[in-house]
Structure 1
Amino acid sequence: MSERIREKLKILADAAKYDVSCSSSGSTRKNKNKGLGDTGNGICHTYTEDGRCVSLLKILLTNFCIYDCAYCVTRKSNDIKRTAFTVQEVVDLTINFYRRNYIEGLFLSSGIFKDADYTMERLVRVAKKLRSEHNFNGYIHLKSIPGASDELMKEAGLYADRLSVNIEIPTEQGLKLLAPDKDRKDMIQPMNFLKNEIILRESENKTFRNAPLFAPAGQSSQMIIGAAQESDKDIMFTANSLYKNFNLKRVYYSGYVPVSNDNRLPGLNTSVPRIRENRLYQTDWLMRFYGFQVKEIVNQEHPNLDLDIDPKLSWALRNVQQFPIDINRADLHLILRVPGIGIQSARKIVDARRFQRLNWEHLKKLGVALNRAKYFIICNSRNYERRDLSGSQIKQYILSGAQSKALSAVAIQLQLF
């Protein structure tokens, strides 16, 4: 690798780290005709369910940008070193890194130089060259450029496994304040086009065996949180709307990192706490997999998530009148709402109680976190009788127990030295 390419890679890989929407689960692209790569179980810079660490080349095509978004490190007014890859340089890097077993796929985003179509056309050319000229079957995630034409978006979907359009700021008012050159409609339009095209292609695939793949891993988006002082309610209601209206696979939440002293920003000198990101992801999970409605978790009375406890426990404490539930009789929907019971444990409970009535020991073996669940359920056992406690009392008991457990772990560590 030449020194010039090495320097470009250092600059443009560092600039890409602020984009967290690089999960690739859901694609089923297979290796054909002895080509390079195989999407397999999904490529991302993270750990898979079986503990396998996978990686991808995650870069910007360029950090030049015509926009001056207050929250963005590549904004045009920022005094940083600018550079850009050529299309062929990205292709060569991807192939060479793959052959050396450094990566299993490509995540390609970009600043916007000239205009949306000019930039998007180059992103598409990278994917097209990899697929057509190098027979590359590994994972490709392209960041779609807001405002790009439908024709380019359609072509991108034929070569990429996943496409994503960043919504950027949760509220339209926040976007107008921090990125006045951008229009929310330019973000919504490609999302809507991709949704309709994906539905159309899925229908074709059911009818025609050899119908071409179109973004088989779907589309995703990302929101920067904390830059416009929006509430968690604003964030999650926007996310819920994106899931419902555009069939998104994932919405990602990226805590604002101070990258400028722009007076439009809310005077944040530190990054958004990681625990806030975590609570938003937990809420997202409850909406997508546990049957919760967004207004049950965040609403006018509770606009922000509790940072001390997870949102499922927070909801249960606000609705203690709905508990306890009988674990041997309640349906799956209710069991999933019990703090300390995950999806797999809930399904195991429903299966196991067909053969015998379950007690505390059974539940513990099935993976239930009894330190939380015991306040909200009854079962075939009298080892623990649920007392008539208020939500605040239960919260105090749980937090005290967690603190005692943490202190015990520290004591054990000290004994080892």
Structure 2
Amino acid sequence: MVNVKEKIVQNEVHDPSVLRTAREIIENCSSPRLIQNEILNAVERNELWRGKECLNLLAPEAPTSPTVRNLLASEVGTRAAEGHIGPTQRWFAGTTHIDEIEALCVELLKKVFKSNYADHRLVASMVGNLAVYSALTKPGDNIMTIPQPTGGHSSNRYDGPAGIRGLNIFDVPMDSKELTVDLEAFTKKAREIKPRLVALGASMTLFPFPLKEMSKIVEEWGGKIFFDGAHQLGLIGGGQFQDPLREGACIMTGSAGKTFSGPQSGIILWNDPEINKSVTDAIFPALAATHQVNRVAALAAAAAEFLAFGQEYMEQIVKNAQALGKALQEKGVTMLGSHKGFTKTHQVIADVRAFGNGLEIARKLGEANIITNKNLIPNDKPEDWDYPSGLRIGTTEVTRLGMKESEMEIVADFILNVLEDKKSTKTVRNEIIDFRKSYQKIHYCFD
């Protein structure tokens, strides 16, 4: 008979061996203070390895400036500020200066994205997506979202906020070669389904969507377009991608911690006053209460940096992604979208079937201090999630460290040396540690 403790262990979703190691560390420490030291040591090891010795090519990550990072540890982070901005709308007294911080953040976000409304209280962009579905749909409504093998993300599928809301989810037809919406197929399918909302959210995002055309189609029955710009938000603010709120989207969410290069959190933006109450009611009191004012201050500081440096920074990110895609293709790696210049964003996608699967390749590159992620590509099936055919490679972090097109040739060589076993992962790792010594400073900020 299985006892309760064994059953709990069996049902654990996390890696049992990693948790076992953590338990052993805790049990072998003679005091809570020594346990805390183990935590501090792990943080320091990560800062040295990931922060100073690796080529971080993850599309969802960007280093924050020293000012933004310092604000995340500021005293205001111990303060609670439940409610909307303004003394009569707060649950707590003593928020005079917090109101200043939050108002500056809201107005800065409006200025960066040229929007009428913005909200700063979302701890993650996925929470922003749930706010949109809560505000603009009701359970049982039909919606259309992008399926995952062609770039979509779980936040708009059955296993994310859209599914939690109880929506009927249909696929947006995608062109697997052009890597954008198949407009003809979409028009036919949308007119049959008449979705209340069409969500354009893609974690594998290389090219703009035909937003204007899609918006005109869904207007026929009063449908709306929701743009999930988790990855593209900084590119949009920097004028390097399409402008969803002016091309037909009624609302846009995004991550502050990806191309925008702020603290990990969510941003939500819209122009239409008609949806203002439903959206803000979904945010508070439904999904956000005390919302980490230190993070809000850091987000405001990142927005101020973006006003000064965003266009230049985002332009270089795209140039670097295009240069890296081109270099990898010329060296024998099959890159998606090569006939269209590889990308219009911060990422490129490699088809690595000639070298293994995406999981194997990402792990092998990781041993050489090259950090990427496995990724589904259009030829894959949803069940290939653990062992997909693709690799996603981003240029946000290396760009903020000062790298430009010439360095992308070097980065491509590092990758090829691992993929083709020209050098051992240990040799490449040592070369990268040495290479990174010249790229330690954070650029595109006031510090």
Same fold, TM-score > 0.5, yes or no = no
- Per residue, is there more helix in 1 or in 2? 2
Choose between structure 1 and 2 for higher RCO, CA contacts under 8 A separated by at least 6 residues: 2
TM-score w.r.t. the length of structure 2 is 0.26
- Per residue, is there more strand in 1 or in 2? 2
